[in-house]
Structure 1
Amino acid sequence: MTTPTQKLSDAGVSIWLDDLSRQRLTSGNLQELIDTKNVVGVTTNPTIFAAALADGESYREQVAELAKAGASVDDAVFRITTDDVRHACDLFTPIAQATQGVDGRVSIEVDPRLAQDADATSAMAQKLSQTIDRPNALIKIPATEKGLPSIAATIAEGISVNVTLIFSLDRYRGVINAYMQGLEEALENGKDLSTIHSVASFFVSRVDTEIDKRLDAVGTDEAKALKGKAGLANARLAYQVYEEQLETERWKRLAAAGANPQRPLWASTGVKDPSLPDTLYVSELVAPNTVNTMPEKTLDATYDHAEITGDTVTGTYQQATDVLNAVAEQGISYEEVVDQLETEGLKKFDKSWDELLATVRTALDEAR
């Protein structure tokens, strides 16, 4: 019997695991997910590394070595996380080679404290890329306004990028523009465009969490009927934007020069509201040339019982527009929501980074 994860892959959706730890790598767990549940990539973020390092047994030996060498906390975090990502890249190399670099990707984020400093972000992206030194690494850069020039500059250097923390359709258009600008500069500088890849990470469940809270506050039957719908509508309209940009003359010129499309990636796909189906943000966001990065709980639920019925995105754009218009009619500002979510997202990553630093600081002190 064909599994739901196989059906998802057959429908053109790449399944990436939204988690990484040394324990996953050394125990064979990640390889098992590749072999059994169609996992073809990994995404990480500061929260994921903070959780991995909190369970410090797998890192004890390396922490002791770093403590002995007198490494600073920042240097230790950099070494530990880049080592994990390099190891994961090696694990995914056969998939990267088989897919010409489309999949087999492992993402690592620039220090989130640099999110509002374009030059520092670009420099950190280069440092991460050079240190990991694997063609299937993706450097994650947040899609803040100040992050857009860093995205273009990093792509121009020939470094593949996962653009993260996208909530709004307008910002997504800015991300696409930054990607194409970077490719144009790379082409001018004689880079091989076919080796440059990118995904644009559109966050889904957080949109519902915030909008549903506001719909509850409105309290009418009409408002409550819209709950659990805005996140999907927003993501589906993002796919429409993706399809439209593939038809532009600007993109066609780049494609003719060997450029790869920047695939939409559905992030934040774990359902936060227990009244919603646990595979909602998987089964309802099936479209060709997309990525769905899932926490393990969502991956397990998808493998176990997701109903994958083919493309559930193309052709839904009017319906999606109607949903967002109906939300606006309830007095809820789309712009206000997406701005708030970006600000909160950056704060969450800053907090997780602080937790990561504190965990490693404690581990280094104990080792010394």
Structure 2
Amino acid sequence: MSEATQRTSDSGVSIWLDDLSRTRIESGSLQDLIAHKNVVGVTTNPSIFQKALSQVGPYDEQLKQLGKVDVETAVRELTTTDVRNATDIFSEVAEKSDYVDGRVSIEVDPRLAHDTETTKKQAVELWEKVNRPNAMIKIPATLEGLPAITATLAKGISVNVTLIFSLERYEQVMDAFIEGIAQAAANGHDLKHMGSVASFFVSRVDTAVDKLLEQNGSDAAKALEGKAAVANARLAYQLFEKKFAEDPRWADLEAKGAKKQRPLWASTGTKNAAYSDCKYVDELVAPFVVNTMPEKTLNALADHGNGAESISGTYEESKAVMDKLAELGINIKDVTDQLESAGVSQFINSWDSVLADTQAGIDRVNA
């Protein structure tokens, strides 16, 4: 194992890879990352599948087997096959961790981000299609997504809540999770193998806030560049600690075998070359979190990451960063609202490309 990834894991962080493709599965790359870089899970999203399915060749054999099916069916078959095969690769990790890790996430159609009922339906369909206990269904944390999160958990289905940017929304997500687990218990589901993570996006916050700070141009603004995202995430961890320590509903559910919904740091690739390429890993190390990272960030961590605990004792400093941003006229809620909207749009655009590339593949193998 890499010393840095081992240190990070020993500090309580579950390292998940933010990438998946047929090539990665069949080449043995995924197994190698498990063996040598402490990778214990995988997340996917429409942009990741867009990159995977745009490749000519790896999916042709399955497309030939499917024949002239409609493109929506083809995409469903291709993506769930990759996720199912990945969950099988992680099955030993899942069993050894009592299903805390070894998880592979697949996202509902991003075009459903504001459609509660259809999201609930598709979550069940994807869960049944993958048909593995260590899968997770990703549902966006839009206002319309919140009741779908609760309803999906109530059916005994593990959920990865995605596209969380604000502290306000994160609190709503934790409430939706606890209510969902309570309903799952009432419905007779075994809580012990259920899992959930709350994907709190990080680097995109700095990208947006830094742009506003640059526009301000003052020395006070300059001093805050590169600080908003980590402060926001650290305050989210404070909320996590408080919620699961103090919410009276949780103690009863935990006694029945329920596991806490872990914070997952997403969007942890560094987008500003002036910042450390391990910034959004090393500055967010704490017990019981997940960090899902692209391979470039994972390699940087393995090469020169720190891995030491870095959230404890930072809450006052993080709150001060947010207060200073407000003093400069930067409304963090406006920023995070815009990021949520942009995130949904980005994933829809990626999904449109997935459909187009898959249709081209169907046409090519059936020519």
Q: Same fold (TM over 0.5)?
A: yes
Question: How far apart in 2 are the matches of 1:307 and 1:159?
Answer: 35
Task: Give yes or no for contact 2:2–2:36 (8 Å, CA) kept in 1.
Answer: no
Please give the alpha-carbon distance, in whole angstroms, between the structure 1 residues aligned to 2:20 and 2:197: 19
**3-state secondary structure, aligned to 2:138:** strand
Q: Distance in 2 between matches of 1:244 and 1:135?
A: 29
CA distance in 1, matches of 2:2, 2:179: 41
CA distance in 1, matches of 2:252, 2:18: 34
Report the secondary structure of 2:268's partner residue.
Answer: coil
Report if aligned partners of 2:154, 2:184 keep a CA contact under 8 Å in 1. Answer: yes
The CA distance in 2 between the partners of 1:191 and 1:60, in whole Å, is 39
Q: 1:194 & 1:329 partners in 2: Cα distance?
A: 46
Q: 1:135, CA displacement in angstroms?
A: 0.2
| Structure-2 residue corresponding to 1:254 | 253
In structure 2, what is the Cα distance between the partners aligned to 1:363 and 1:247? 51
Structure 1 residue 315: deviation in Å? 1.6
- Unmatched segments (≥5 aa) in structure 2: none
- How do residues 1-368 of structure 1 correspond to structure 2 at under 5 angstroms? 3-66=3-66, 68=67, 70-248=68-246, 249-308=248-307, 310-368=308-366
One-letter amino acid of the structure 1 residue matched with residue 58 of structure 2 = S
SS at structure 1 position matched to 2:104: strand
TM-score (norm 1): 0.98
Q: Which amino acid aligns with 2:221?
A: A
Deviation at 1:166, TM superposition (A): 0.2
Deviation readout 1:252-308 (Å, 9 max, x if unpaired): 111112110000000000000000010000111000000000000000000000122
- Secondary structure in 1 matching 2:291: strand
Structure 1 segments, 4+ long, off by >3 Å, are none
- Identical pairs, percent: 55
Q: Distance in 2 between matches of 1:2 and 1:161?
A: 30
* Residue type at the aligned position of 1:334: I
8 Å contact kept, 2:8–2:306: no
Alpha-carbon distance in structure 2 between the residues aligned to 1:38 and 1:86: 21
| Contact kept? 2:114, 2:142, Cα under 8 Å | yes
Deviation at 1:2, TM superposition (A): 6.2
Structure 2 counterpart SS, 1:276: coil
* CA apart distance, 1:56: 2.4
Could you report, residue by residue, the CA deviation over 1:134-155 in whole angstroms, capped at 9, with x for unpaired residues?
0000000000000000000000
Could you tell me how far apart the structure 1 residues matched to 2:50 and 2:341 are? 20
Unmatched segments (≥5 aa) in structure 1: none
Range with greater deviation from structure 2 (247-256 or 73-82): 247-256
Q: Deviations over 1:158-203 (max 9, x none)?
A: 0000000000001000000000111111111111111211000000
1:205-254, Cα deviation, whole Å (9 max, x unpaired): 00000000000000111101100000000000000000001112121111
User: AA paired with 2:155?
Assistant: E
8 Å contact kept, 1:158–1:195: no
Letter of the 1:307 counterpart: N
SS of equivalent to 2:90: helix
| Preserved contact between residue 125 and residue 154 of structure 1 (Cα < 8 Å) | yes
Distance in 2 (alpha carbons) for counterparts of 1:253 and 1:216: 48
Q: Distance in 2 between matches of 1:154 and 1:264?
A: 19
Q: Structure 2-normalised TM-score?
A: 0.98
Between the aligned partners of 1:158 and 1:191, the Cα distance in structure 2 is: 6
Alpha carbon RMSD of aligned pairs, Å?
Answer: 0.9
Q: 2 CA distance for matches of 1:193 and 1:94?
A: 20
Maintained 8 Å contact 2:200/2:266 = yes
